[in-house]
Structure formats: structure tokens, C-alpha cells
Structure 1
Amino acid sequence: MIRSVVFDVGETLIKDDREWRAWAEWLDVPPHTLSGLVGAVTSAGRDNAEAFQLIRPGFDLAVERQLREEAGVGERIDESDLYPDVRCALEALKAAGCWLGIAGNQTARAATLLRRLELPVDAIATSGEWDVAKPDARFFRKVVEFAPGAPDEILYVGDHRDNDVVPSRAAGLRSGLIRRGPLGYLWADDSSVRENADWVFDSLVELPDLIAS
């Protein structure tokens, strides 16, 4: 029985287009250049932040993020960034009696921006608030503390094989991969995903029926 569903953020609930485009403009490279490098390093099993180092060696993400804020081009999340299935899927899951949470690798500011959207969820947290990021096992221990139920009654949903599916299963949670965003498409048929994910699906609106079944 699934009592709680906890969602990743980027390319699960939120389209990452705006933020990657903003970083490309900040680094003065075409968006497809940065996107290509992010895909290359991630598919090689490396952290996507390494793409910044390839463009600007010595790049300090925390410093540059603060400089963007000071320049008035900092992080933004609004209704237009949500995937169109998000609100209806969350409402259906709430109606089915699930506790819902959001917990992903985002800044503390992103948590504030997400809360302003007033999504129908019970709680929101980010790695910036918890001071630990996926795929660290401590992140998923936080998820277990965060969401009601035993680990095997908590479903963690994301688009990333190495940050979402594999470590959530290792922590004893149930696991789902949504097939969207570059990584969701890349890894939907990966053997590790098939071994560790309870479900691979194309839209969040599929979740209520999958959980019920």
C-alpha cells in the first residue's frame, strides 16, 4: 500500500527550460551548447554541474548563483514552468487519500518559489534546506522522516536513474520514473531502471491508477 508520494522537481513537476536558458545566457553560450554538455556529463554518470566547468574552468556555482540574484536575473519558478499534468494529478492523488510531498535537489530559494505556487501538497523541502543532496543516502533518510509511512509505503517519483530511481530503492522506498525530460527518455528502458522502478510511465495522471492497482 502506498501512503505517501514524494516528487522530484526538475523535469518531474517543473520544466527546466527557463533555468538552463538563463544559465546559458549568463555564461554567454548558446542554450543548445550548455544542454548538450549537461546531457553528455550526466549520461557519463557525472554531476551535471560539471558542464559549467567545461565552459568556464573554476566555475563556483554558489558564487555565480548569488551574482545572478544580485544582477536581477536569478532563479524564477512560476505557473508557466509547471508541466500541464501536475495540478490535476496532484489533486487526483489527494482525492485518493495520499499524503503528497516535494523534495528535490534545489536551492532554498526554489523551495520558497515552489511554496508560492500553492500546489495541493502537504510539504515541500529541497536539498538546499536539508543541506544534503541526492543521490546521497542521507537525502532519502530525510525523505523517510519527511513522509508518513514505512519506507515501502512511500513512493519517490523522478526522472533520473542515478539520483532518483536507484538510490530511493536502495533506501527501501518504492520508486517510479517519469519518461519525460532528456534523462527520463534516456533511461526509461535502462536495465537498472527496470530492475529498481516499480513503474515507468509517461504522465503523472497515470499515477492514481497505478497506485490503486
Structure 2
Amino acid sequence: MKLRALTLDLDDTLWPIAPTLLRAELRLHDWLLAHAPATAQRHGIEAMRALRADVARRQPQLAHDLSQLRRLSLVEALAASGDDTALAEPAFEVFFAARQEVDLYDEVGDALDRLASRYRLLAVSNGNADVRSTGLDRWFSGSVSARQAGVAKPDPRIFALACEALGCAPDAVMHVGDDHAADIVGARAAGLHSAWLRREPARAGQWQVDPDAPAGTGHHWVIGDLAVLADRLLAG
């Protein structure tokens, strides 16, 4: 396998997303308490989550743009509470800034140091984490987001755009991610190699060839963490 580059998912691959989002939601709620108290009282964190999910159902054409869905949710929450809808943008900025405060899984920093010493790394995400704001730009040459691509994983077009950004053919790229449907099925359909990251205690430090991967479609692995991926790729 003559790999030249790796594409990596971000949320739940490099850091846990649930505490990241909760911190951002709490930061947003505190801001609303100070600047739009009626909205904060009417829309607590759970209510805001439900509203955002409802907006996403009503706006399926925006499934690739989580930032815009969040903005629209804030506009609706403010309007329903009688607050100034112009506050939606500064409220979003508060959420977005906090959303970039991520806590990497323990092995990620060292593994990325090692992987970046041999391969170009590119982030490919359906989310709205920013490579520079999260501090990932020390390892990553750039990113391709669903918002930028106009489609979300598993659509093969986002992987094709990533390969174009890297200047690599698909068979010279391995995609790494935790979501089988979005990351692994999508990468395989686009002709990339894949590494399915399954962060389960029993799999820590483990590597195997994916027994369910179609024959003749490239190298497809199951890994327990990024350290074992670095071990495997840099062994030769």
C-alpha cells in the first residue's frame, strides 16, 4: 500500500463530541441569560436541542450545514420569546467559539505527531469544528467540511474533494473515522482505503483487517485507537 495521505474525521475520532457540545451549549445558555433572558427561560439546553432537531427536519436541504441550522434555531428561539432576532449571530459566535474548545483523546497528540511526520493529514468532517481554532493546524494541512463540499459524508463527492485538495489519487489515501456509515462506507465508495476507529475498551491497542470489507477494494482495517494506526503505518 503506497499511501501518501490520510484524511481523518474529527468528532468522536480525535475528541469526544458530547462534552464538547455540552460545554458550548452551557456557554450559550449563560450568554442568553445575560442578553436574552426570555429566550433563556423558555429554551433551556434540552429545549434548544429539540428545536434544532426540528429545524433540521424542516430544512433537510441544510443537512450539510450545521452552523446554519444552529443560526436558524437561534432565530426561531429568539422570535418565539419576543427577543431581538439580531442577537442570533452574536449568540451563535459564543456557541461556535466554545465548540472549538476540544479535549483530545489521550493518545491522539502523539499519534498525530508520528503520522504527520510521514503523511499529509486532512480533516474531513460533517461537523463545524475549525482546524485552526481547535489547534489542529499543527498537524493538518487543511480541511474539507460538509458545508464547504455542499454534501455530507457518506456522499463520495466529499471524499473526492478531499483527494483533490491533497493532490492524491483515492488509492493513495486512507480515511480514518468512527462512524461506519458516514466514514467507512463513504470512503470505500470513493475508492479510498479505510480505518474504522472503534473506541471500545476491549479494542484498545488492537488492529485487524476488517473481515466485512469487500474483496479487492483496497486496505480496510478496524483499529482501537490512533496509536495502533501509527504503529501499523510507520512499521515499514
TM-score, normalising length: structure 2: 0.63
Q: Which of these two proteins has the greater Rg computed from alpha carbons? A: 2
Q: 2:154 aligns with which of 135, 139, 152?
A: 135
Corresponding letter in the other structure for 2:53 = F
- Contact 2:156-2:190 within 8 A present in 1 as well: yes
Cα 1:118–1:141 shift into 2, 3 Å: closer
Q: Report the CA distance between 1:29 and its aligned residue.
A: 5.2
Q: Report the CA distance between 1:94 and its aligned residue.
A: 2.3
Q: Report the CA distance between 1:118 and its aligned residue.
A: 3.5
Q: Report the CA distance between 1:77 and its aligned residue.
A: 1.6
SS at match of 2:106: coil
Cα 1:151–1:58 shift into 2, 3 Å: closer
Equivalent-residue separation in structure 1 for 2:46 and 2:71 (angstroms): 22
Cα 1:175–1:14 shift into 2, 3 Å: same
Cα 1:57–1:145 shift into 2, 3 Å: closer
Q: Report the CA distance between 1:58 and its aligned residue.
A: 5.0
* Residue 208 of structure 1 pairs with residue 227 of structure 2: no
Cα 1:193–1:12 shift into 2, 3 Å: farther
SS at match of 2:195: strand
Q: 1:90 aligns with which of 74, 96, 112?
A: 112
Equivalent-residue separation in structure 2 for 1:90 and 1:117 (angstroms): 9
**Could you say which residue in structure 2 is the equivalent of 1:188?**
none
- Contact 2:71-2:88 within 8 A present in 1 as well: no
Contiguous gaps of at least 5 residues in structure 2: 30-42, 60-68, 76-86, 204-209
* Residue 195 of structure 1 pairs with residue 213 of structure 2: yes
Deviates more, 1:131-140 or 1:16-25: 16-25
Identity %: 28
- Contact 1:87-1:120 within 8 A present in 2 as well: no
Q: Report the CA distance between 1:143 and its aligned residue.
A: 1.5
Deviations 1:170-189 (A, max 9, x none): 110001111128xxx9xxxx
Deviates more, 1:170-179 or 1:119-128: 119-128
Contiguous gaps of at least 5 residues in structure 1: 35-48, 186-191
**Could you say which residue in structure 1 is the equivalent of 2:90?**
70
Q: Report the CA distance between 1:70 and its aligned residue.
A: 2.1
Corresponding letter in the other structure for 1:102 = A
Tell me how large the CA RMSD over aligned residues is: 3.5
Deviates more, 1:58-67 or 1:196-205: 58-67
Equivalent-residue separation in structure 2 for 1:162 and 1:193 (angstroms): 16
Equivalent-residue separation in structure 2 for 1:120 and 1:129 (angstroms): 20
Cα 1:65–1:156 shift into 2, 3 Å: farther
Q: Report the CA distance between 1:208 and its aligned residue.
A: 2.2
Q: Report the CA distance between 1:147 and its aligned residue.
A: 2.1
Cα 1:180–1:198 shift into 2, 3 Å: same
The size of the alignment, in residue pairs, is: 183
- Contact 1:87-1:119 within 8 A present in 2 as well: no
Equivalent-residue separation in structure 1 for 2:183 and 2:51 (angstroms): 19
**Could you say which residue in structure 1 is the equivalent of 2:44?**
28
Equivalent-residue separation in structure 2 for 1:154 and 1:93 (angstroms): 13
Q: Report the CA distance between 1:101 and its aligned residue.
A: 1.2
SS at match of 1:87: helix
Q: Equivalences for 1:161-200 in 2 at 5 Å?
A: 161-180=180-199, 194-195=212-213, 198-200=220-222
TM-score, normalising length: structure 1: 0.69
